[in-house]
Chains A and B, each alone.
Chain A
Amino acid sequence: MSSNTLTAAEASGPQKPAAGFEGDRQDNTLGGAVRGYLDKLRGGDLGALPAVLGIITLGILFTVLRPGTFLTPLNLANLAVQATPIIVLAMGLVFVLLLGEIDLSAGVVSGVCSAVLAQVLVQSGFGWPVAVLAAIVTGAVIGMFTGSLVGMVGIPSFVVTLALFLGWQGVTLRLIGQGGTVPVREPVIRALANENLPLAVGWALAVLVAVGYAAIELWRWRAKRARDLAHQPLVLVVLRVVLMAVVVLGVTAILSEDRALSAAVDLAGIPYAIPLVILLLLVVTFVLSRTSFGRHMYAVGGNAEAARRAGINVTRIRVMAFVISSSLAAISGILATSRLSSVTPDAGAGNTLLYAVGAAVIGGTSLFGGRGRARDALLGGLVIAIIANGLGLLGVAAYLNFVITGGVLLLAASVDALARRRAATAR
């Protein structure tokens, strides 16, 4: 930031009185958009690039290493279902990470909520709606507790959630019992990860998503252009719309193929868990980018003091981040329970948290706060699931699996830290 840049801008700047934003118009061309994107990359904001590259390279790698196994409808469906609890947990963590905080207990909170779900179903004999509600309320209350300790008492979130990481494991152990496993055979819960949408419904949903996305994007583009506001060039909008349609319809096509191993049975369709994740993705994206609550979330993460001076209730935002994170952890726990059809005392422990944090960070959410989106959880969660799935297919020894996954998180965190340094020096 030197006076040179400014004087240069002045010299070349528009001299028309009271019309100051010729730049907006430049940005509306394709060249301007490309330049803007390159500037962003150079400034250290890599966005979705690492995750997308990761999905492509890892996909190619495992396809080559395990031809005929990795890239089959059966494995891809497995992979997608495997990814859902990671994605949902990561989506919750995005809220916490946005504030520059961490929740080390998110994984085991999902475990506690799973245990509550199982106990309500099995011991109390209630139906799934009560059990699901109980699990999510448990998550919300836990989040309120964590958030209050961080936001009101002022204990660093790292310490609070490290303590709770141990504490909640004890609670799960108490609920499930040492060495015990509570099987969950409730049909609706089980169906989430183990049953598929009817083919016609799957296609209808896919078309709805593709067309809906196109309609919203094009409508917004038109409205902005009509009012002469900053907008992307139409080519780019169309490209995004087409890309979205190709991905959504492509995935639907793959999942609609019969993937049964024996010819006697039919196994095809989108697993129920996937539309659930898409729905959560839409809701979280909407909250973060279209509501003032979401805007305040970013503001607190970017500059808490500025947010406070702007009259934002910073404490409330902090508490809410943990409430949302833990509630989504509960949903993640429900998905995990569905996939395993049971709850064990170590539910949500082990590498659950590492996977979710890794997913968010690989997807582009910053550990330093202020940057993150719902889609980061989706893209990063897919990268993590591909790694877990691929290493499983390769039959890699357990120790190597740990080392590799830990390494991937470190790599993502390094990219994040370096990007931040770049952004700081770029100014």
Chain B
Amino acid sequence: MNSILTSIYAFSVQRLPYITLIVTFMGVALRVMRWRSSPPDPEKIKIDPVESVKYVILDVVLFRKTWKTDKAMWLALFLFHGSVAGIVFGHLRGFHIWSITLFEAFGHAFAEFMVHTLPIYVGYVFIITQVYFLARRVMLENKQLTSMPNDYIALVLLLMKSIAGQGMRLVAPEAVPTALYSVVFIPRFVVLHLETIPNSHWFHIHIILTQLFIMYVPFSKFIHIITGVITPAIYGSRRKQIDR
């Protein structure tokens, strides 16, 4: 590997995580400041925890409103968010939040399927649904919707990082060490433990794109990862006040 690439890869593991943390926190802080500097609402909506949770479950978890409007989009949204949840959960094993023993109670073959086989299928679903979103956006552009540049940048970045992640699974690993292979991003806080040493290119492209994506979240429509729970919760409480 040439030295420039080696330095970039080293930078992506040793330095970029700190930059990612700082930029992401600053981005979120800027967003919050932008909202805080706007005038408060004249009407105080009394938050009703039961109604708010009900609306979050119905509208954020089950996509009730999308079901009413567009069944194909509902399926895509459901599969996309389901695969996000699965992928995030899967990654947590690498950070030693859980281990394969979680599934061993159902037999070793099942546990193997859950941690090694299923993620590959989930990865495909993740990529296919993103391609669908991108194609839908392009087809409806300037008809039913108008996008802002960040709508596309965020989607393309996510798609690229997903393809790199899937590539990493499909390409043969560089080695299978006897002990776990650890990648230290932030000593003692963010340490990834891998069973194999993945293909270096796919791995580093994946982690670079992932970090770029995380940094971009507060500046893009992916801010809805946070606010997409808040607005339906407020709406749920509002409806409680309205409905007779």
Chain A partners chain B: no
Q: A interface vs B, CB < 8 Å? A: none
